[in-house]
Amino acid sequence: MLPLDRLTKRAQAAAAARSFAAVKWSAVFEHNSGTIALHMRLALVCTIFLLSGPCARSAELFYLDRDAFNNEYVGPVGPLVLSGEITPGDYDRLIAKIAEDDKRFLAQNKLILASSEGNAEEAMKIARLVKALYTQVIVGPLTGRCAGACFLIYAAAVERGTDGENLLGVTRPGLAESEWVGRPTTEAALLEDSMQAPVRAFLLENEVPADLVEQAFQRPSTDVYWLSDDDETALGSKSPAFAKFLEKNCKWSDGLDKAVFRGERPFEDLKQFTDCRARAIQPEARKALALALKAAAPAAKASPTGGASPSAPGAAAIPVAAEATGSGAPPTPAAKPHKKRAKTTRKPPAESKTTPSS
């Protein structure tokens, strides 16, 4: 029997011989063809990406044919969906999408939000438009969450609602993730810092509870605080000012919907409220949309609503419908531009768990 040290040396020599033996590449390809093909495709994608530069991303805009809460088919008249990363230019794209069929949009006047990242400044532009149009915003479990920049749109809406846990989140506002690509870190950080004061003022202007505002600013942009049931109840399914307007002018009360569904109040009460709400806000929504379309493309031909087709997108001044103060009618949007200046392109100025009633 050979000594242990000699056996060890022989084992080492055999291992070395095997490591330098000829490789049977046919066997390697046979057993690893799938993995090799995957890595080759990944390498090709990376090469194309490096040669072409970073891809431009933007939010998706499309009409939904199913209910965001129960997945029931509602046909081709479903609400508009804003999904994905919100980037500069998405306000113009939203205006253009609405202008394709403005009557279809205003027939429901709803927007489903499904975005968890994006540019805060662009989101505030969209939020002001949504507020001016009295658009109801919805966050449903089937379409996706709303967090970060998306929350700014949700918070500004006069009517809003979610149905599910961890669907609505706040975080430190800033740039879209894609905007960091190709930009020096210090420059991006400075841009984000410059957004903090305007965003804080925007949230306070829209009467977001102070504790939620602090939650957004005390954490990094990658750390999302998901609203609890109590948080969404405090935020409300209607903005405080709009709720006061409905209470005074349409005899609305906070528990009206639930009371009707429980049989405690007649269905006629809910119908009367719905009719009153429509009479109050639909004319103002049409006026606000006409102004927004005209501001976006002042040189285009007038659309059926009196606005203009956004063939030349431009984020001009948006008629921000400040919330009703109980004067008997919704606030009147900003005055239309003088006819002599209509052809001049103008530059822009620098959750409750209860489903909202339709």
- Here the CATH number for the domain that contains residue 299 is 3.90.226
Q: pTM score, two decimals? A: 0.67
Higher pLDDT, 195 or 5: 195
Indicate whether 347 belongs to any domain.
no
Same domain, 163 and 135: yes
Burial class (CB in 10 A: 0-12, 13-18, 19+), 43: exposed
Same domain, 176 and 306: yes
Same domain, 195 and 308: yes
Same domain, 37 and 66: no
Q: Among 16, 39, 55, identify where a domain stops.
A: 55
- Of the chain, the percentage scoring pLDDT greater than 90 comes to 39
Indicate whether 6 belongs to any domain.
no
Indicate whether 355 belongs to any domain.
no
Higher pLDDT, 219 or 354: 219
- Is pLDDT at 338 greater than 70 in this prediction? no
Radius of gyration of the chain (CA): 28
Residue 354 banded pLDDT, cuts 50, 70, 90: very low
3-state secondary structure of 34: helix
Q: Among 17, 35, 55, identify where a domain stops.
A: 55
Please, what is the average pLDDT of the chain?
Answer: 74
Question: Any bridge partners for residue 357, and if so which?
Answer: none
Question: Any bridge partners for residue 73, and if so which?
Answer: 66
Indicate whether 115 belongs to any domain.
yes
Mention every residue, 6+ apart, whose C-beta is less than 8 A from residue 352.
160, 161, 162, 232, 233, 235, 236, 237
Indicate whether 7 belongs to any domain.
no
**Parent domain of 49:** 27-55
Indicate whether 346 belongs to any domain.
no
Same domain, 321 and 218: yes
Same domain, 135 and 48: no
Query: Closest Cα partner for 133 from 153, 147, 117, 115?
Result: 153
Indicate whether 44 belongs to any domain.
yes
Lowest average pLDDT, out of 60-64, 85-89, 175-179, 322-326, goes to: 322-326
- Is pLDDT at 5 greater than 70 in this prediction? no
Burial class (CB in 10 A: 0-12, 13-18, 19+), 128: buried
Rounded distance between C-alpha atoms, residue 9 and residue 4, angstroms? 9
Higher pLDDT, 243 or 4: 243
Mean pLDDT of 81-100: 94
What is the pLDDT at residue 183? 75
Same domain, 300 and 211: yes
Indicate whether 18 belongs to any domain.
no
Same domain, 184 and 51: no
Same domain, 157 and 284: yes
Same domain, 48 and 69: no
Q: Among 5, 36, 55, identify where a domain stops.
A: 55
Look at the chain and report how many structural domains it folds into.
Answer: 2
Residue 323 banded pLDDT, cuts 50, 70, 90: very low
- Quote the tokens at residue 231: 């948080």
Sign of torsion over alpha carbons 153, 155, 156, 162: positive
For 120-174, what is the HEC assignment? HHHHHHHHHHHHHCCCEEEECCCCCCEECHHHHHHHHCCEEEECCCCCEEECCCC
- Please say whether the beta carbons of 308 and 302 come within 8 A: yes
Same domain, 127 and 179: yes
What is the tens place of the pLDDT at every residue in 156-206? 999 999 988 889 999 988 887 776 777 777 877 887 788 889 999 999 999
- Looking up tokens 């194309």 gives 48
Same domain, 46 and 184: no
Cα pseudo-dihedral 48, 51, 52, 56, rounded to 10 = 80
- Is pLDDT at 319 greater than 90 in this prediction? no
Residue 3 banded pLDDT, cuts 50, 70, 90: low
